[in-house]
Amino acid sequence: MDASAAHSKPVTGLILSGGGSRAAYQVGVLGAIADLLPDAARNPFPVIVGTSAGAVNAVGLACGAMHFTQAIHRLIGVWQNFHCGRVYRSDWPGVLRQSTRFLGHSLLGLGKDIPVALLDNAPLRDLLARELDFSGISAAVRTRQLRAVAVTAFGYESGQATTFYQGRATIDPWFRHRRVGVPTRLGIEHLMASAAIPLLFPAVRLGREYFGDGAVRQTAPISPALHLGASRVLVVGVSGNPVGPDVRLEAPQPPAGRPPTLAQIGGHLLNSTFIDNLESDIELLERINHMSRAIEPDARPRNLSSEQVDVLVISPSRPLDEIAARHRREMPRAIRTFLRGPGATRASGAGVLSYLLFEPGYCNELIELGYQDAMAKRGDLQRFLGLESAPVRPQTIPAI
């Protein structure tokens, strides 16, 4: 961690987790933050860290950090007008070509030197090239409106969660068990690698190794922000597992007695990849903070930091699987047909859909949910960002 980090003034980090189309929720939360910030406010997050689709949002913010609220509005505009075809091939020729390549590679061993997957996400590369100006990162770092931005990807050969970061030269690389931090100049390939969900999207070569979605082996999702100098973090999750004193837990439905579909299995695997590690890391950090507060400074073990790491978490108040199930007919016909066999087009398979449904109805409902959830924590956000006296501007996100 950068030893020069100032202790007098907290360094606020923003952590945007992965989750495919679920990341639309994040821009709703960011829209609320934009409304809470005063006019012409500087970037309130010197450290921005993202994984998977969260990496795309994180770099989008960093590219526009010189004009932070405008960067948020740009992100919202992109997500409000999303379609599956802007992320992966969803037309019949594209779906048939990719499925044929996948079967040929998997069953016959054809094209072994070319990474393949169930879906062709080449359109995402084109979208990133159009929407992102990576020179904005260097400008923001140079003018000290950004300390660092980082994205995490998983190395298929090394088995390491590698965090690629661009920021101030005083930030040192780090090497931990299966976790490393590598300074670099970020580009489209880093985002494509971080967002390459295993089996769904093809791996991306960076240097001598192929990388995939960073959430696969990211056992400590909060740690990159701390290594980059953050002393407090705002975490925007996409779990869709409502928690809190006001949440009513319904009695579980009796088992149907039918074997799980491939979509149900895939949904649980995706949830364990994108959600479980983040929630466990937050719980561990809160326990360490509680222990640190309970032990007198002179009695603390040497390996227990005396510095508290404040954490504020904003996550969906409603199950995202249920929202995806209502919008499943928005999926393009070719993809619906392709996913019908595994059971993803049924309500029980909505877990997979919640990651792949890049359509306006679903994305806009998640954006609105993120905005409302953030505003429900308006007081906490204002205290966390030091905005207690700031007026709230009119709502930037139109009602759905």
Let me know: does 170 contact 2? Beta carbons within 8 Å. yes
Write the DSSP string, 45-102: -SEEEEETHHHHHHHHHHHTGGGHHHHHHHHHHHHHT--GGGTS--SHHHHHHHHHHH
Neighbours of 288 (CB within 10 A): 14
Q: Which residues pair with 205 in a beta bridge?
A: 210
Query: How many CB atoms lie under 10 A from the CB of residue 315?
Result: 24
Told to judge if 35 belongs to the known catalytic residues of this protein, a careful annotator would answer no
In this structure, is the dihedral angle defined by the CA atoms of residues 211, 212, 215 and 217, taken in order, positive or negative? negative
Smallest Cα–Cα separation from 65: which of 43, 92, 88, 38? 43
CA distance 399 to 394: 12
Q: Going by DSSP bridges, is the β-strand pair 232-236/310-314 parallel, antiparallel, or unpaired?
A: parallel
Tell me which of 120, 213, 281, 373 is the catalytic residue: 213
Kindly report the backbone phi and psi dihedral angles of residue 190, in degrees, each rounded to the nearest multiple of 5, phi listed first.
Answer: -65, -40
What distances in angstroms separate CA 239 from CA 26, 198, 318, one per listed residue? 11, 19, 9
Residue 4 is among the residues annotated as catalytic for this protein: no
| Alpha-carbon distance values, 135 to 250, 284, 370 (Å) | 49, 36, 29
Choosing from 17, 21, 52, 315, which is the catalytic residue? Answer: 52
Q: Which residues are catalytic?
A: 52, 213
